[in-house]
Amino acid sequence: MFTRLLQQSFRRDWRRKLLAIFTIVLATTLMTALASLSIDVGDKMAREMKAYGSNIKVVPKSDSIPLTIGGVNYNPLSGRDYLNEADLPKIKDIFWRNNITGLTPFLTLPVTLGSAEDDHVPLIGTYFHKLMPVEGFDNFFTGVTVTHPFWQVTGTWPEEDSLDQVLVGETLAERQGLKPGATLTLTSAEGKSRNVTVSGIVEASEEEAGGIVAPLALAQDLAGLSGKVGSVSVSALTIPENSLSRKARSDPSSLDAQQYDTWYCSAYVSAIVHQIEEALPNASARPIWQVADSEGVVIGKIQLLMAVVALAAFASSAMAISSLLNTSVMERSREIGLMKALGASEAAILSLFLGEAVIIGIIGGLIGAALGAGLSQIIGLTVFGATITFPGVVVLVVVIASILIALAGSVLPSRTIAALAPVETLYGRR
């Protein structure tokens, strides 16, 4: 009997039911797309924000000793200790290895141009787009093109490991009147010289703009530091910091065993920094908080905005469903009064309307989930240039949410049903 009544209700009032389903489809489509984006937006936004530079810097442990007074660094070991280039792949071998998107070594030394012995400029040796052998990664290319994508080159990049090609910073190029194709003689403090060709002009940060950027092999050769690097910039995908991460940042030993495992196995920038220092015992890794904090704040605000929009969609669709069902109750008041007069309990009548709401919620939720999955892919391709990972659990969550929307919209109609008196409805007084 209950099933027959449901079938008759949908058959007789199909237009209003279709409108209710359409209302839920609109809400659940938006909720599905936002849920998919919210789950995947962390990685997508973190990758987008890598355009602002790396978020971790690794230096020799001796360089991290704070001996700065009045803005002057009095550390006698600063710039005199180095990291081994051969150890760099270990950074890509930590627990969060898949979150390390790039790492770039740097070696800086003063050089003179031509015969002008008093004209010292910094020579910065680095990787541009180098294949780094890492176990488990067949084609791991890294360098400034990965960690510093904001660098712009007019001309061409030098060949990796070249000893006769360099980039000249735009400020230095303008001062010296240099253009791609020009030749220079570089002389290091050790008296070693190299004739090089300017392959391009680089637009970068202030240090690079006033100096020369060269392949790491050339800088090592001029400095007489084969296999050594001064620092490493690391780009890592991280999640926003919270109280646990901040506590671990100040003192990891203050965490109990459970807290430590949770922190260590989460992609906090502080946890990744800690693991890099475990992999390189003679190194000190420090987050670049201006970048790391910005990533966390922006991603957190975007996810909060998505949650607010989803909640607004939930509330508005629930109110629309409530209006539709309440109108349906008033139009069917004689039917409800007759059912009550024939002995139907209030619970049985309510279950009929709630059953209708559940069916409407399931149908609308499934259609909305399918449309939302497609919408999320369109947004992903449009905004991030890549598809969005669509977790299957989103479908279950959205269908449950759509049922809750329909049930929430049934609250007011249910109170209306409870207030209907059989005598009044049968005689047309209500």
Secondary structure, 3-state, 311-349? HHHHHHHHHHHHHHHHHHHHHCHHHHHHHHHCCCCHHHH
Residue 244 host element (H or E): helix 243-250
Residues 378 and 407 in one domain: yes
pLDDT at 4: 65
CB atoms under 10 Å from CB of 287, counted, come to 22
Of 344, 363, 353, the residue nearest 326 (C-alpha): 353
Is 356 or 68 the better-scoring residue by pLDDT?
Answer: 356
Q: What does R_g of the chain's alpha carbons equal in angstroms?
A: 33
Residues 102 and 10 in one domain: no
Fill in the amino acid letter for 304: L
Gap between the Cα atoms of 317 and 309, Å rounded: 12
User: E-strand spans in 127-164?
Assistant: 130-131, 141-142, 152-155
Residues 115 and 229 in one domain: yes
Residues 314 and 363 in one domain: yes
Q: What is the dihedral of CA 93, 84, 110, 77, to 10 degrees?
A: 110
Residue 55 host element (H or E): none
Instruction: Tell me the two tokens of residue 232.
Output: 């490493």
Residues 131 and 85 in one domain: yes
Per cent of the chain over pLDDT 70 is 74
Instruction: Single out the residue in 259, 287, 315 at which a domain terminates.
Output: 287
Side-chain half-sphere exposure of 63, counting CA atoms within 13 A: 19
Instruction: Single out the residue in 262, 287, 312 at which a domain terminates.
Output: 287
Residues 191 and 320 in one domain: no
pLDDT at 223: 92
Residues 123 and 220 in one domain: yes
**Angle between helix 257-264 and helix 269-279 axes, rounded to 10 deg:** 90
Instruction: Tell me the two tokens of residue 338.
Output: 């007759």
Strongest mean pLDDT among 43-57, 68-82, 226-240:
226-240
pLDDT at 136: 82
Q: What is the dihedral of CA 221, 223, 226, 231, to 10 degrees?
A: -120
Instruction: Please give the biggest Cα pair distance in the chain.
Output: 111
Residues 272 and 311 in one domain: no
pLDDT at 74: 44
Instruction: Single out the residue in 287, 303, 322 at which a domain terminates.
Output: 287
Dihedral pair phi/psi, residue 267, rounded to 5°: -85, 45
Pairing of strands 116-126, 212-215: parallel
Residues 60 and 187 in one domain: yes
> Could you list the residue range(s) of the whole structural domain that residue 321 is in?
2-46+295-426
Q: Which of 89-98, 204-213, 278-287, 347-356 comes out lowest in average pLDDT?
A: 347-356
pLDDT tier at 72, thresholds 50, 70, 90: very low
pLDDT at 28: 85
pLDDT at 70: 47
pLDDT tier at 414, thresholds 50, 70, 90: low
pLDDT greater than 80 at residue 126: yes
Query: Based on the structure, what is the number of domains in the chain?
Result: 2
Cα angle 155, 160, 161 (rounded to 5 degrees) comes to 130
pLDDT at 212: 94
Residues 37 and 60 in one domain: no
**Over residues 208-219, mean pLDDT:** 92
pLDDT at 51: 52
pLDDT tier at 71, thresholds 50, 70, 90: very low
Gap between the Cα atoms of 229 and 59, Å rounded: 9
Gap between the Cα atoms of 131 and 233, Å rounded: 16
**Over residues 84-89, mean pLDDT:** 93
The answer to whether the Cα torsion of 90, 95, 97, 102 is positive or negative is: negative
Residues 142 and 266 in one domain: yes
pLDDT at 52: 55
Is 386 or 34 the better-scoring residue by pLDDT?
Answer: 34
Is 382 or 233 the better-scoring residue by pLDDT?
Answer: 233
**Over residues 373-390, mean pLDDT:** 77
Gap between the Cα atoms of 409 and 347, Å rounded: 17
Gap between the Cα atoms of 145 and 167, Å rounded: 14
Instruction: Tell me the two tokens of residue 212.
Output: 């020369």
Is 138 or 211 the better-scoring residue by pLDDT?
Answer: 211
pLDDT greater than 60 at residue 302: yes
Query: Is residue 107 within 8 Å of 226, Cβ to Cβ?
Result: no
pLDDT at 230: 92
Residues 357 and 272 in one domain: no
pLDDT at 158: 94
